[in-house]
């Protein structure tokens, strides 16, 4: 502070010097130059200031600010002189050269606070005036601020002031009296013990007058004095004790307004000594006389010191109105920016437009949200798929294990893998083969499950069976594996060959060779086909079926009981070669047992009555069922039909009855177009009767049946060699050939193991060859 007034003084000298040296310079250059010089001078002064400060920055506890000053050259004009009296200890600042003490000053409000005398008017109890002082205030160029009020204290008091306002005389006053004591209240200055009145604006001088109505006699409590004074608002608070003790108070603070000179802003602004410079502006609201400076909004400092108004860092102080989520930046001189968050628009001010999300941001946010949602969705689905796939893999692995896949693999590899036995397929292979189990690929559906036609990658056509299996115990799994292994090893031309299986599904899928011509049942019972299938073909089919069953019963290392022999399970290929199929119900009978207790299973009408009673499964059960098949071949009727009269419902029983009654011819299939009953039919009928014996022991074995049928067939062919020429031309050739020892080896490319083939040696001797080789 102290350097600025003196700096100002120096500038004047320097400025005149420069103006002389460079007479022609533009205003902006001038301004720039001033600034440069100022800075230079500031450096100079700062250096010289240390030698001896010429201007005091304060006097006592009052800070002296320009245009006031207390030393020569430190104040603007003598009107702003502060006399600092240091002769009595504590320095006391006096206004100009008067006895008026300055207690505060403000450049921003252009005010100065002075201590003015309190007027008094005292009487003794007899009503004689003891003393009276009525101070006057006469200060050139300043005015009494309207922020003061005029106060009078006393119980018999009448006080007023007069002064010059503009060019008029003006004044006002108030009366204070005391009624009863109780009415005098602390803090209340409304005419009882105390009164106050506002000071009019623009009063320049003041003459104070104090009067009493009754010289302070005739009042309840004797109160000797009246007091009157001007005081800054808020600096005096009436107390009832003031009536007695106010004698000791001699001065009260009062505000004085000041201005520079007696010219208006417009008159003064072009003068060299004009003080409002830099970010200081001349206050146009002030009517004069004189002018006032004030810092521009957003700046602070002493407006009367050129270039002292500095930008306020509103953000640093926190006195800004930026919204909470807006960032306050003090980037504009005299102002600041409230920066809204990214994607928000507006001035960011609480009293302004605030911060609002702009449209593009809404779109962006929307796009962002949806993009991330999509990404999340993709990620989640991906994760889901991965997990699902993993779960599926684990499930498949579990099923593979559960279904004995490992065991099976071991069994297969243990066999040396020498031939195309059961292959373990993967789910994918079979899915591809069946076109994902397409409906159009279904070739059979029933209680056992569904059979699909499939094409393997090597173009082999296969039938894929999806069984319906109940839950499996470990023993059942092992059995299943055994079955698969054994069936896969069966390489009999009259048994549908198991190509492989898939164990990755809960229910194992079985893959069989594909037999194109449907089931025997279709051929016997559907009208369109029945005519084509002659007695000779029927006999051949019966023989082949018997051979297959015989083979199952005795050939494999472990006997296999088919358990569900019926025309539905006998498939025919293009040459009517029979293929026994569906081992879904089949059971292996361990070597040390000849019978096996099981839950009765099979198809009604074909079921062995003994087995139904005892639950003891033996190979003779298959013999019984085969007997029913023979009956069906002979009669062309269904094994069980509720459409028929009661005695005819069970075909087997009805057939036996008819046979016994000698009415065989009546029950024979009329589509066989027979004129009389040939001996072959009689032979077959007798065989059938034996097969259908109630007691299993009385039935022939399958092997015996097969041999007998082979015999009947070959004698029939010898008798009528022309019979079967219509069914297959090739067969004629075989008639002339030597019997082939092992038919199975030939037809199956030598894949059958020795054990199996040797089992059939005996059978082969009685061959059925012309038919057997039919491809």
Ligand X SMILES: *[C@@H]1O[C@H](CO)[C@@H](O)[C@H](O)[C@H]1NC(C)=O
Residues near ligand X (CB under 6 A) = 85, 87-88, 104, 106, 109, 261-262, 297-298, 334-335, 347
CB of 347 to ligand X, least distance (A): 5
Residue (257 or 347) nearer to ligand X, CB = 347
Distance CA 601, CA 633 (A): 23
DSSP assignments along 703-741, one per residue:
HHHHHHHHHHHHHHHHH-TTTTTTT-SHHHHHHHSPPPT
Note whether 639 and 633 are within 8 A (CB). Answer: no
Chain center to CA of 36: 63
- Of 272 and 697, nearer to ligand X (C-beta) is 272
Nearest-approach distance from CB 24 to ligand X, in angstroms: 32
For residue 669 the two structure tokens come to: 């299939």
Min separation Cβ 6 and ligand X, Å:
22
Nearer to ligand X, 312 or 433 (CB): 312
Tokens for 61? 């506890």
CB of 106 to ligand X, least distance (A): 4
Least Cα distance to 86 among 128, 112, 58 occurs for 58
Rounded Cα distance, 637 and 645, in Å: 13
Label residues 569-581 b or e (16+ Cβ within 10 Å = b): bbbbbeebbbbbb
- Would you state the torsion angle of the CA atoms of residues 755, 760, 764, 769, taken in this order, to the nearest 10 degrees? -100
Give which of 89, 82, 44 is closest to 66, Cα–Cα. 82
Please give the Cα distance from 557 to 106 (Å, whole number): 123
CB of 204: closest distance to ligand X in angstroms? 12
Q: Name the minimum Å distance from CB 33 to ligand X.
A: 28
Minimum gap (Å) between residue 108 Cβ and ligand X: 7
For ligand X, the closer of residues 123 and 336 by Cβ is 336
Q: Which is nearer to ligand X, 61 or 381 (CB)?
A: 61
Closer to ligand X by Cβ: residue 320 or 579: 320
* Nearest of 491, 497, 499, 500 to residue 555 by alpha carbon: 491
Residue number, 84 or 442, with CB nearest to ligand X: 84
Q: Check residue 79 and report its DSSP letter.
A: G
Q: Tell me the backbone φ, ψ of residue 158, rounded to 5 degrees.
A: -145, 110
> At 557, is the secondary structure helix, strand, or coil?
coil
| Minimum distance, C-beta of residue 19 to ligand X, in the bound complex (Å) | 24
The secondary element (H helix, E strand) that includes residue 194 is strand 194-198
DSSP assignment of 657-701 equals: HHHHTT-HHHHS-GGG--SS--HHHHHHHHHHHHHT-SSGGGSPP
What is the Cα–Cα distance from 759 to 765, expressed in whole angstroms? 12
Residue 346 or 739 having the CB closest to ligand X? 346
Between residues 347 and 669, which has the closer beta carbon with respect to ligand X? 347
Q: Which of 564, 573, 582, 619 is catalytic?
A: 564
Q: Which is nearer to ligand X, 78 or 381 (CB)?
A: 78
CA distances to 146, 198, 466 from 201, in Å:
5, 9, 111
Smaller CB separation from ligand X, 42 or 329: 329
- Pairwise CA distance, residues 152 & 167, whole Å: 27
Written as six digits, the tokens of 205 are 């001088």
Sign of the alpha-carbon dihedral angle for 603, 604, 605, 606: positive
Half-sphere exposure of 120 (CA within 13 A, CB side): 21
Query: Which one, 334 or 678, has the nearer CB to ligand X?
Result: 334
Report in angstroms how near the CB of residue 141 gets to ligand X at its nearest. 8
Task: Measure CA of the first residue to CA of the last residue in the chain; give whole Å.
Answer: 126
CA distance readout (Å), 718 to 273, 277, 606, 709, 721: 153, 143, 32, 14, 5
For 754, phi and psi rounded to 5 degrees? -60, -40
| Distance from C-alpha of 387 to C-alpha of 265, rounded to nearest angstrom | 85
Longest dimension (CA), the chain: 182
- Clarify whether 79 is annotated catalytic: no
> In terms of DSSP H, where are the helices of 297-342?
314-317
Q: Which structure tokens are listed for 130?
A: 């003891």
Identify the sign of the CA torsion 73, 112, 159, 183.
negative
* Nearest-10 crossing angle of helices 651-660, 679-691: 120
Cis peptide before 289 (omega within 30 of 0): yes
Closest CB to ligand X among residues 314, 743: 314
Ranges of beta strands (E only) in 212-266 are 225-232, 251-257
Q: Collapsing DSSP states into helix, strand and coil, what is residue 479?
A: helix
Cα(56)–Cα(1) distance, rounded to whole angstroms?
A: 9
Q: What is the dihedral of CA 476, 481, 487, 489, to 10 degrees?
A: -150
- Strands 293-295, 299-300: parallel, antiparallel or unpaired by DSSP? unpaired
Compute the least distance from the CB of residue 335 to ligand X, in Å: 4
Q: How far is the CB of 269 from ligand X (least distance, A)?
A: 16
Shortest reach from residue 83's CB to ligand X, in Å: 6
Q: How far is the CB of 260 from ligand X (least distance, A)?
A: 10
The set of catalytic residues is 564
């Amino acid at each position: 502070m102290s350097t600025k007034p003196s700096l100002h003084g120096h500038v004047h000298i320097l400025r005149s010097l420069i103006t002389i040296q460079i007479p022609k310079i533009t205003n902006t250059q001038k301004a720039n130059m001033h600034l440069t010089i100022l800075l230079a001078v500031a450096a100079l002064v700062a250096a010289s200031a240390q030698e001896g400060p010429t201007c005091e920055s304060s006097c006592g506890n009052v800070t002296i600010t320009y245009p006031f000053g207390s030393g020569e050259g430190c104040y603007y004009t003598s009107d702003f002189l502060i006399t600092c009296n240091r002769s009595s200890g504590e320095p006391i600042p006096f206004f100009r050269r008067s006895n008026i003490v300055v207690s505060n000053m403000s450049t921003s409000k252009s005010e100065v606070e002075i201590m003015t005398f309190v007027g008094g008017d005292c009487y003794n109890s007899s009503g004689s005036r003891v003393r009276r002082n009525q101070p006057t205030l006469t200060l050139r160029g300043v005015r009494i601020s309207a922020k003061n009020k005029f106060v009078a204290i006393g119980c018999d008091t009448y006080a007023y002031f007069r002064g010059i306002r503009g060019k008029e005389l003006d004044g006002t006053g108030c009366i204070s009296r005391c009624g009863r004591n109780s009415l005098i209240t602390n803090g209340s200055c409304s005419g009882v013990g105390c009164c106050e009145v506002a000071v009019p604006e623009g009063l320049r001088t003041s003459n104070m007058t104090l009067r009493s109505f009754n010289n302070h006699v005739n009042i309840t409590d004797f109160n000797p004095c009246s007091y009157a004074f001007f005081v800054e608002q808020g600096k005096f608070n009436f107390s009832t004790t003031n009536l007695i003790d106010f004698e000791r108070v001699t001065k009260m603070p009062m505000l004085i307004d000041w201005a520079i000179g007696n010219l208006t802003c417009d008159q003064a602004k072009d003068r060299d000594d004009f003080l409002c410079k830099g970010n200081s502006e001349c206050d146009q609201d002030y009517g004069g006389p004189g002018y006032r400076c004030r810092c521009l909004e957003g700046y602070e400092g002493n407006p009367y010191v050129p270039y002292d108004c500095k930008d306020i860092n509103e953000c640093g102080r926190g006195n800004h109105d930026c919204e909470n989520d807006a960032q306050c930046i003090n980037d504009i001189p005299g102002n600041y920016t409230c920066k809204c968050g990214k994607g928000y628009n507006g001035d960011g001010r609480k009293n302004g437009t605030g911060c609002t999300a702009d449209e593009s941001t809404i779109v962006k946010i929307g796009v962002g949200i949806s993009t991330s949602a999509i990404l999340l969705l993709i990620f989640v689905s991906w994760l889901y798929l991965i997990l699902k796939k993993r779960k599926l893999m684990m499930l498949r692995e579990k099923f593979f294990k559960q279904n004995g896949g490992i065991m099976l693999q071991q069994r297969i590899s243990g066999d040396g893998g020498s031939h195309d036995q059961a292959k373990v397929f993967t789910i994918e292979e079979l899915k591809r083969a069946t076109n994902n189990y397409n409906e159009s690929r279904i070739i059979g559906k029933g209680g056992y499950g569904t059979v699909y036609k499939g094409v393997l990658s090597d173009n082999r056509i296969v039938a894929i069976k999806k069984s319906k299996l109940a839950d499996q115990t470990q023993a059942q799994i092992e059995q299943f594996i055994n079955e698969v292994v054994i069936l896969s090893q069966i390489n009999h031309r009259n048994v549908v060959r198991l190509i492989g299986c898939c164990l990755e599904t809960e229910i194992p899928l079985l893959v069989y060779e594909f037999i194109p011509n449907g089931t025997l049942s279709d051929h016997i019972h559907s009208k369109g086909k029945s005519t084509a299938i002659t007695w000779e073909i029927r006999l051949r089919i019966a023989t082949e079926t018997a051979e297959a069953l015989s083979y199952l019963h005795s050939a494999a290392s472990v006997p296999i009981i088919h358990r569900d022999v019926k025309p539905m399970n006998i498939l025919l290929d293009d040459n009517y070669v029979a293929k026994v199929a569906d081992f879904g119900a089949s059971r292996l009978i361990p070597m040390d047992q000849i019978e096996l207790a099981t839950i009765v299973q099979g198809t009604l009408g074909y079921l062995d009555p003994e087995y139904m009673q005892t639950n003891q499964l033996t190979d003779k059960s298959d013999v019984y069922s085969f007997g029913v098949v023979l009956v069906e071949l002979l009669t062309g009727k269904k094994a069980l039909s509720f459409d028929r009269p009661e005695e005819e419902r069970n075909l087997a029983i009805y057939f036996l009855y008819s046979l016994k009654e000698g009415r065989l011819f009546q029950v024979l299939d009329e589509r066989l177009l027979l004129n009389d009953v040939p001996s072959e039919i009689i032979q077959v009928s007798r065989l059938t009767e034996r097969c259908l014996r109630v007691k299993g022991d009385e039935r022939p074995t399958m092997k015996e049946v097969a041999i007998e049928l082979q015999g009947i067939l070959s004698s029939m062919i010898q008798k009528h060699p022309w019979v079967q020429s219509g069914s297959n031309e090739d067969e004629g050739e075989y008639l002339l050939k030597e019997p082939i020892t092992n038919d199975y080896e030939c037809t199956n490319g030598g894949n059958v193991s020795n054990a199996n083939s040797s089992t059939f040696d005996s059978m082969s001797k009685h061959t059925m060859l012309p038919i057997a080789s039919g491809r």
